Each structure stands twice: as C-alpha cells, then as structure tokens.
C-alpha cells in the first residue's frame, strides 16, 4: 500500500530544474496524479508556468505547502535548507511526516536536528534524471520505516534507477553519480576530439561518441557482465582496439578517472557543512 494512497499529498519545496525533473517523472509514470502534488517556490512567475505545465497546485508559502503534505521533497540549494526547515512552525508542520532532501552535503544528522519528529531520507539524484535516465542513491534516517523507504525508492525510480545505501557512502556516491555526468561528458568530448583530428565532422563525432557510450553503458547494465570482460571481447590480438587502449593507458586515463572520483568525494564531504 502506498503511503500516498487516497487524498494524501506530495509537496515539493523548491521547484527548480531537478525538482521539476522528478515531478515530471512521477506524473509520467503515473505514480501520483496532479491533484496529489503541491509545489512551493519563492519565484512566483516560475510557479505560474510550473502549474500550467503540470496542472498542479502551487504557492510561494513553504509553510502552507508543508502543512498540506504527507511526504515532502526538499529541493532547495544546500545553503538554503537550514533557513527553510529550521523554524518552530516548520517543525510542527512536518512532525510525523516523511521528509526527503536532495540537498548535496546536507547530512541526516543536520536534518534530524532541524526536524526531530520527522521521518528523514537523504537522496542524491543526478542530472540524467532530466531525461528519465537518472541514478539516485538514498539513505534513511532513524525512525524511517520500510514503507517510507520503499516509496522513496519507487519515487526516484520514475526518473531512472534508485538504490538504498548507508549514509557513510554518500560522499563517494555524490562524486561517482552526482559529478559523474560531467566526467562522462568530458570523455565524450575527448573521444570526439580524437575523431575530429582524424577527419570526422564534429557534429557526427559527438553523436557517435555519445551513442557509443550509451550503448556500452546499457550493455553493462543489461548483461551484468564485468566491464573488463566486455572490453576484452572487443580487443582482438594485434588489432586497432588494443593499440588505442595501450595509448590511453600510457596517458594515464585509468588513474586520472579514478583520481577524479577520489578528489570529488573529498570535496563532497565538505558540502553543506559551512
């Protein structure tokens, strides 16, 4: 049974790009109907457009939206979370309710300090959620039951894949999954540059590199075969693939990518802690 069954409401506090991406996925997948969604934001003009696009209720009053909610999805910037949640009125409005925060770096301990009587979940989605191909990791706080967690996983599953992790892993997940699209875009751009250097039109080179990366990623996900095994299947003795791989290894591509994730994880550990 859904925790939003009947006339209960999902409220989005913060209706920016990621908030709307999640909203669009929820509605597209039929997880909720427009009448079950309420969105708040300080930008009145943006709310008008959002309401028209999705036929949902909107308000510039976060407290009004919180009071109407069964589950709240907090989609404001990390530095804004405390100001939004850390008031007596908001604590009362969200008491006993499920609160899911997507604010990078804002820890469950901080959320629990602001909202001691709420069931808390911390989520880290990524930008491919905008096209329904996201990856979201979620961690539950104390007192968050299986039903609430299952709902949250299903919610983010509407914009891609979702998985529950221990919060201790959230910094590395932020680096790998949250920052990862930027790393992938750099790889696509670099591969395309090599093709352009060898005479391919840039537009075609980017399209082919992106499709190749998408297809390769889907092979990993759909087959469950280790990437090293799939790589070896493409690499024939004395062929052009091993020649290219050797040159990339010579340039330290493997070390550079792994080190990039490590450094991003260190930086992620400091987010939301100012």
Name the segment(s) of the chain with CATH classification 3.40.50.720: 10-167
User: Quick one: which of 50, 47, 60, 59 has its CA closest to 27?
Assistant: 50
Mean pLDDT, residues 212-222: 97
pLDDT at 8 > cutoff 90: no
Nearest Cα neighbor of 181 from 264, 252, 75, 266 is: 264
Taking residues 51-74, report their average pLDDT: 93
User: What does pLDDT average to over the chain?
Assistant: 93
Question: How confident is the model over 121-163, as pLDDT tens digits?
Answer: 999 999 999 899 999 999 999 889 999 999 999 999 999 999 9
Q: For 51-88, give the DSSP string.
A: HHHH--EEES-HHHHHHH-SEEEE-S-HHHHHHHH-SH
Percent of all residues in the chain with a pLDDT value above 70, rounded to a whole number:
98
Domain(s) of CATH 1.10.3730.10: residues in the chain: 178-268
Starting at the earlier edge strand, list the strands of the sheet with 71-74.
Answer: 57-59, 37-40, 10-13, 71-74, 98-101, 119-124, 134-140, 160-164
At residue 15, the pLDDT reads 85
Q: What is the pLDDT of residues 49-58, one digit of tens each?
A: 899 999 999 9
The CATH label, of 3.40.50.450, 3.40.50.720, 3.40.50.1110, 3.30.420.40, for the domain at 10-167 is 3.40.50.720
What's phi and psi for 105, nearest 5 deg? 85, -10
Residue 31: CB atoms within 10 A of its CB come to 18
Are the CB atoms for 141 and 108 separated by under 8 Å? yes
Give the model's confidence band at 3: pLDDT under 50 very low, under 70 low, under 90 confident, else very high: confident
pLDDT surpasses 90 at 30: no
Report pLDDT for 270: 86
Q: Answer yes or no: is pLDDT of 1 > 70.
A: no
Q: Does pLDDT of 2 surpass 70?
A: no
Pick among 3.30.2320.30, 1.10.3730.10, 1.10.4080.10, 1.25.10.10: CATH of 178-268: 1.10.3730.10
88 confidence band (pLDDT: 50, 70, 90): very high
pLDDT attached to residue 274: 58
- Looking at residue 245, its pLDDT comes to 96
């Amino acid at each position: 049974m859904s925790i939003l069954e009947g006339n209960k409401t999902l409220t989005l506090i913060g209706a920016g790009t990621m908030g709307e991406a999640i909203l669009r996925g929820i509605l597209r997948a039929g997880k909720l109907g427009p009448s079950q969604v309420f969105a708040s934001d300080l930008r009145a003009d943006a709310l008008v457009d959002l309401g028209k696009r999705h036929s949902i209720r909107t308000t510039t009053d976060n407290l009004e939206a919180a009071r109407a909610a069964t589950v709240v999805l907090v989609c404001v910037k990390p530095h804004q979370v405390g100001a939004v949640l850390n008031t007596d009125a908001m604590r009362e409005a969200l008491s006993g309710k499920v609160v899911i925060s997507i604010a990078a770096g804002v820890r469950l301990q901080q959320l629990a300090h602001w909202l001691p009587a709420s069931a808390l979940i911390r989520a880290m989605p990524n930008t491919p959620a905008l096209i329904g191909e996201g990856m979201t990791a979620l961690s539950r706080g104390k007192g968050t039951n299986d039903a609430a967690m299952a709902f949250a996983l299903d919610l983010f599953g509407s914009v891609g894949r979702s998985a529950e992790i221990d919060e201790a892993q959230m910094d590395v997940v932020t680096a790998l999954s949250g920052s990862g699209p930027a790393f992938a875009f750099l790889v696509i751009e670099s591969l395309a540059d090599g093709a352009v250097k060898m005479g391919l039109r840039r537009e075609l080179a980017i399209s082919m590199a992106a499709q190749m990366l998408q297809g390769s990623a889907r092979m990993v996900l759909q087959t469950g075969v280790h990437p090293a095994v799939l790589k070896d299947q493409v690499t024939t003795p004395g062929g052009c693939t091993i020649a290219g791989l050797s040159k990339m290894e010579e340039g330290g591509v493997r070390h550079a990518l792994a080190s990039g994730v490590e450094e991003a994880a260190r930086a992620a550990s400091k987010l939301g802690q100012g």
